[in-house]
Structure 1
Amino acid sequence: MNIDVASTQSLKQSEMGQGATRAVAEFAVNLTYEDLPPEVISDAKRCILDSLGCGVFGAQTPWTQSVRRVVESLGQSQKSSAWGQKVKADPLGIAFINGTSAQGFELDDCHDQSMSHYGAGVVPALLACAEAFGPFSGKDLILATVVGFELGTRIGNTVSPHAFHRGFHPCGLTSTFASAATVGKMLNLDVEQFVSALGLAGSQAAGLMASQFGAMAKRFHSGKASQNGIIAALCAREGLTGVRDVLEAPYGGFCSTYADKYDLSWATNKLGEEFEIRKNGFKQYSSLASSQTTVDALRAIRADHGIRGEDVESVLVRTTNMVYVHCGWPYEPKETITAQMNLPYTGAVTLLEGTAFIDQYTDDKLRDPKIIDLANRFKVVVDPELDAGGPHEMRAVRVTVTMKSGQEYHQEQTYRSGHWRNPISDADLSAKFKNLAGRVLKEDAVESINAMVQGLETAAEPAPELGHMLQDVKA
């Protein structure tokens, strides 16, 4: 994509800490479908498909049903479709429901550097608004998805990992920008309106990391982000102004408020030349991304040496400070989220059962004495060498498994399976979608959704049909 003179000047200003907000807004407004490289189009479709699978599966979880009951109690107009359940509501309510379900079982995508999961913020807003405010073509949806991921990830990069270390949940913060950017692109906002949409998104960014230790609250952060982004874009279209320098404002701006240290250059560096959606990854396990390098390492040891979890004496995980803080704490059974966000539990169940997917986080296992006993024999420590790695290596681990016989096994894992530097194939991602969606939807609907998303760029108006198929639940 070629950026015009005004945009180039904004980029130069942003390098000095000025104009980053306007620079990304100008980029978003000027980007066209024809600017998108084929691999970026493919990545957008992968992000949409994965989010739909995660959202359909998460529809019947208690936390999603709590949100659904709230939305239905408000008596909203029925313009958009909830996924995996026969519920309709207005776009705000549906984005709230679907965003909650898409991030509802720790299966959703992950952009590692910004430490956030943008599919659950972007795709629910995208399809809710496409149904309600259409018609929108498949190309329109792809373009809006790319814009949302690009601005969300870049804004997330500016404050990562410092906002996380202050205790803020990145999904609640930066997915709000991603949703606003997605909807702003769909609504054809001009530059001034887009700047305000980002400013209004920043005023709504929220989410507390303490929810990871035992609360359903983490589940709805992406739902609120998706909903709040729609509010930001719609209000900007109607003339409500937001903080116009929301990213770079030295007092009360997004970066200066949420992070002790931040780097605005991440927002604009090679903007329009390199797309951050190319660095988005996908999960193969039902746990937070920070524990998944350990899962890969333990599965490799299990496969290579034929060990049994019952014969393990102890496990030492050397890793980065980010992983240590995020999930290295001692396991104490509380709620499902507690186990999914905890490395010792996730590692223990992997050693005992061979993986850490949906069936490893059922209620009966959260307090299983065998799992708890092994989890208590995990030790997670910071390895200074690993901690000195770059932003893409922030989840690297060196794992040592000591058997009751005294035998030791070692495994290093720098990039989790599904990371953009250790990617999963289109076939595997499609299989994941069919596995998740197939637990809720009829087989014909699963196949049709998969086919439609795979060929999304050829669809004239896919959202209403997708909305119908996403509600074709099993009896």
Structure 2
Amino acid sequence: MTGTIDSAVATRPVTRELATFAAELRYENLPPEVIAMAKRCVLDSLGCGIYGSATPWVDAVARTVGLLGQAATASTWGRPLKADPLGAVMINGTAAQGYELDDCHDQSMSHYGAGVVPAVLAVAEAMGPFDGKQIVTAVVAGYEVGTRVGNTVSPSAFHRGFHPCGLTSTFASAAAISTLLGLDAGQYVNALGLAGSQAAGLMAAQYGAMAKRFHSGKAAQNGIIAALAAREGLTGVRDVLEAPYGGFCSTYAAEYDLDYAVRELGEHWEILRNGFKQYSSLASSQTTVDALRAIRARAGITADEVESVLVETTEMVYVHCGWPYVPNGETIAAQMNLPYTAAVTLIDGTAFIDGYTDDRLADPQILALADRVKVVVAPDLDALGKDEMRAVRVTLTTKSGQEHTENVVYRSGHWKNPLSDEDIAAKFRNLATRVITSEAADEIQRVVLDLDNQSDPVATLARRAGEVR
């Protein structure tokens, strides 16, 4: 079931099918592996958000929220400020996406942890109590709806210049809160319709604007508004996904496939295709990081020995991060750039937080090495499927003329090349304990891993996530 903005779309009520499935979702019907994945998503998002809370862009958002004088009913992470759920979620959602560490669903090219987890925890704290099973179910609904909507328009919406996080996390947040609050199918349809009317986000932010961090926080906020307004009787576009004119898919994508939204509902779980990051850069550069780390380990090459690096890859990776790096004082410009990230990897052996500090954004050694990284589109890689859209073939040439080549199809953390539970837990502790106490991090981890047995987990999570060192 495909469509373009110039052709009529099949009249199958895709929006209602998806909304009905999500409205009827119950914890008792979730497979154990789906429940386990929801806990991973919550833990990883909390770690990313707690660490991201200390960044300048989150400070700016927090000051903005503080100026609005909101009722103090929901907690922010990594800081003492409280606000209403809309203010808290904009801060925490921005923080979770704040340092390019948050999870990634590769096919839909979006990061749902920043859109779903802050929304669920903020609303649950302000409007609860809700038990752990309700929290898990809401998280699953958010990921399942968001990823499926994202899949329908990926990668076409991205190529038109829209940031998927700003578009589809709005649906994800709306679904999560609709499930948490128990909206019926009709209300759920309206919530998705209202979410689609608020979808926004421009990819030009990747070249050097804090706005990219803000997209997920705003999407999470928009989703809460959509769910609450639908509960109060505000109607949305009831065929928001399939509408041939002015619908979400027909407006944002030149090509789309509505079947992705409803394919094997309840049998195939998209949340299981969610992935996690071990590097502090956009997901599209991380196959290159893996390839260069493999070459370094195998050949023992140092950065000083590198003459050039050729990265053959897909059109999507080329557009997303393959341009020549020019420092402009913005951290995001480095994190979203493949030549910079490749250079940092060759120098540091990885591409984590320390590779993107202010003092390194115009480091002469990094700049010189980044200038020797060339990114090109390889037709054979570009012809692969959506799960393989970040495939690379990296050839490193040394100053002595030796060539070393490494192929990577699935980045470390992709669902086909997953991180272990131990890796995810270690990442959480590494990030969280930079901001909050070790005792607070320990209790957050314990509560999240036992989430479905907790009667009021959010009270503990909210308190501990603000327990700054």
In the alignment, is residue 470 of structure 1 matched against residue 457 of structure 2?
no
Amino acid at match of 1:236: A
CA distance in 1, matches of 2:464, 2:25: 30
Matched residue SS, 2:428: helix
TM-score by length of 1: 0.96
How much has 1:366 moved relative to structure 2? 0.4
In the alignment, is residue 272 of structure 1 matched against residue 266 of structure 2?
yes
Matched residue SS, 2:256: coil
Query: What is the aligned partner in structure 1 of residue 127 from structure 2?
Result: 133
Amino acid at match of 1:348: A
Q: Deviations over 1:334-364 (max 9, x none)?
A: 1100000000000011001100000000001
CA distance in 1, matches of 2:107, 2:418: 15
| 2:390 paired residue among 377, 380, 395 | 395
In the alignment, is residue 245 of structure 1 matched against residue 239 of structure 2?
yes
CA distance in 1, matches of 2:64, 2:211: 14
CA distance in 1, matches of 2:178, 2:262: 19
Query: What is the aligned partner in structure 2 of residue 404 from structure 1?
Result: 399
Matched residue SS, 2:257: coil
How much has 1:238 moved relative to structure 2? 0.4
**Contact 1:17–1:264 (8 Å) recurs in 2:** no
Query: What is the aligned partner in structure 2 of residue 91 from structure 1?
Result: 85
**Contact 1:196–1:244 (8 Å) recurs in 2:** yes
How much has 1:448 moved relative to structure 2? 0.4
Query: What is the aligned partner in structure 2 of residue 9 from structure 1?
Result: none
Query: What is the aligned partner in structure 2 of residue 332 from structure 1?
Result: 326
Q: Deviations over 1:290-314 (max 9, x none)?
A: 0000000000000011000111000
Unaligned runs of 5+ in 2: 1-8
CA distance in 1, matches of 2:258, 2:11: 6
In the alignment, is residue 446 of structure 1 matched against residue 441 of structure 2?
yes
Amino acid at match of 2:466: Q
In the alignment, is residue 415 of structure 1 matched against residue 413 of structure 2?
no
Amino acid at match of 1:422: N
Q: Deviations over 1:246-290 (max 9, x none)?
A: 000000000000000000000001011010000000000000000
Q: Select between 16-25 and 307-316 the one with higher mean Cα deviation.
A: 16-25
Query: What is the aligned partner in structure 1 of residue 140 from structure 2?
Result: 146
Query: What is the aligned partner in structure 1 of residue 219 from structure 2?
Result: 225
How much has 1:465 moved relative to structure 2? 1.3
CA distance in 1, matches of 2:415, 2:303: 30
How much has 1:31 moved relative to structure 2? 1.0
Matched residue SS, 1:60: coil
**Contact 1:154–1:266 (8 Å) recurs in 2:** yes
CA distance in 2, matches of 1:464, 1:187: 18
Query: What is the aligned partner in structure 1 of residue 344 from structure 2?
Result: 349
Query: What is the aligned partner in structure 2 of residue 3 from structure 1?
Result: none
In the alignment, is residue 80 of structure 1 matched against residue 78 of structure 2?
no
In the alignment, is residue 299 of structure 1 matched against residue 299 of structure 2?
no
Amino acid at match of 2:439: D
CA distance in 2, matches of 1:188, 1:286: 36
How much has 1:18 moved relative to structure 2? 1.9
How much has 1:464 moved relative to structure 2? 1.2
| 1:189 paired residue among 183, 193, 208 | 183
In the alignment, is residue 316 of structure 1 matched against residue 297 of structure 2?
no
CA distance in 2, matches of 1:16, 1:274: 23
Matched residue SS, 2:53: helix
In the alignment, is residue 210 of structure 1 matched against residue 204 of structure 2?
yes
CA distance in 2, matches of 1:105, 1:433: 14
**Contact 1:293–1:395 (8 Å) recurs in 2:** yes
Amino acid at match of 1:339: A
Query: What is the aligned partner in structure 1 of residue 22 from structure 2?
Result: 28
Q: Deviations over 1:316-340 (max 9, x none)?
A: 0000000000000010001100000
CA distance in 2, matches of 1:148, 1:31: 11
TM-score by length of 2: 0.98
Amino acid at match of 2:140: V
Unaligned runs of 5+ in 1: 1-14
Amino acid at match of 1:458: N
CA distance in 2, matches of 1:366, 1:340: 10
